[in-house]
Amino acid sequence: MGNARTKVLGLFYFAAPVGSGLGFIVGSEITRLTGSWQWSLRITPILGLLCIILLSVLHSDPPRGEAEGGSHMRTTSWWLDIKSLLSNQAFMFISCGYTCVCFVLGSLSWFAIDLIQSALNAINDDPSAWRNYNIPIVVGASTCLAGIFGVLSGAKLGRYLRRWVPAADAYVCSASLLICAPFLFFALVSPSWNFYVCIVLVFIVEFLLCITWALVTDMTMGVVIPTRRSTASALQMVMSHALGDAISPAIVGRIAVAFTDLHSLETQYLGLQRALFLTAFVCALGGFLFLMVTLYLVKAKNDVHRAIQASQHDMVAVISGQEIEVPATPSSIHSEVST
């Protein structure tokens, strides 16, 4: 089940990098054609409506845990679910590590193009020098390719290394972020050296960040029992976005303003660059948090496996310090009695 889920999640998470990259490209082109940046945002509700229609027509929601034999587990109260998730050390470290990834991605999605443009303006001492480069299109294409290869590589590495290292997913996520941190630092200082070197470094950074996406969700599903996975996904989503990409642009922007002189092209670039240095440290922090996941991942997965096995009989399983009643379904009890 684990390998199959990793493959499916790898395919699913193509949407994020490809969508982000296309957003840079389509948004910049619509702005150029209409002369108004607002129109680059007005097309998104149309796409959202199309997605809602497709989901309502084509999507069917299977029973939770059906593929793992845990579809008949009894649900518990929402408050008990939250308490159990907060005491689940593997889940919390995974969520904190992913929050660091979102923090970095949120900052880069807002300011990466601005940083490159301000560097080109400062080098040429011309506030419109960036117009000679198709920066949104180049960065957008780089994001699409890096996302595709990153998600594929992460899913493949996780499936391959899992044969020998049970906590391989966490090690892959940790290694990718720890390697990403120095590349991110050099990507931030490279625009003033060479535009093309900067684009290559941006590609490497995005590739390394995208390695974590499918693996994070796969680990989350593996350390949480089926009846709590929707709550776990919601809690992780709120945590990673509220403390990650929702606030990182504001934090980086505040720091940049503190270092920037609006009358100097050079300080505009240097101010934003210094503010974005924060993301390299957050990236390294995420790597250490995923390294902590390796201490708890295997035990948490074994706990979930025991709970699913217990759900096939009239038993009680202990998950994250909580006793969870997982009685068998009436049909399974009847079959055992008749046997």
Whether 90 maps to a domain, the answer reads: yes
Q: Mark 68-83 as b/e (b = at least 16 C-beta within 10 Å).
A: bebbbbeebeeeebee
Amino acid making up residue 108? L
Whether 94 maps to a domain, the answer reads: yes
pLDDT of the residue at 251: 95
What distance in Å separates the CA atoms of residue 309 and residue 226, rounded to the nearest whole number? 12
Whether 72 maps to a domain, the answer reads: no
pLDDT of the residue at 111: 92
Whether 327 maps to a domain, the answer reads: yes
- List, run by run, the mean pLDDT of 10-residue segments along the chain (339 residues): 60 66 73 76 81 83 58 77 94 97 93 90 80 82 88 89 92 97 95 90 94 91 89 94 93 90 83 94 97 95 85 54 45 36
Residues in CB range of 74: below 8 A, 6 or more apart: 227, 325, 326, 327
pLDDT of the residue at 338: 39
What distance in Å separates the CA atoms of residue 133 and residue 24, rounded to the nearest whole number? 14
CATH number for the domain spanning 216: value is 1.20.1250.20
Element at 329 (helix H, strand E): none
Amino acid making up residue 210? C
Whether 150 maps to a domain, the answer reads: yes
Q: How many domains does the chain have?
A: 1
Whether 233 maps to a domain, the answer reads: yes
Q: At what angle do helices 89-124 and 229-240 cross, to 10 degrees?
A: 30
Please state whether 244 falls in left (phi above 0), alpha (psi between -120 and 50) or beta. Answer: alpha
Whether 319 maps to a domain, the answer reads: yes
Query: How many contiguous H segments (helices) and E segments (strands) does the chain have?
Result: 15, 2
Whether 99 maps to a domain, the answer reads: yes
Hey, how many other C-beta atoms are within 10 angstroms of the C-beta on 224?
29
What distance in Å separates the CA atoms of residue 170 and residue 6, rounded to the nearest whole number? 13
- For residue 213, the enclosing domain spans 2-41+83-338
Enter the pTM of the model. 0.82
pLDDT of the residue at 326: 45
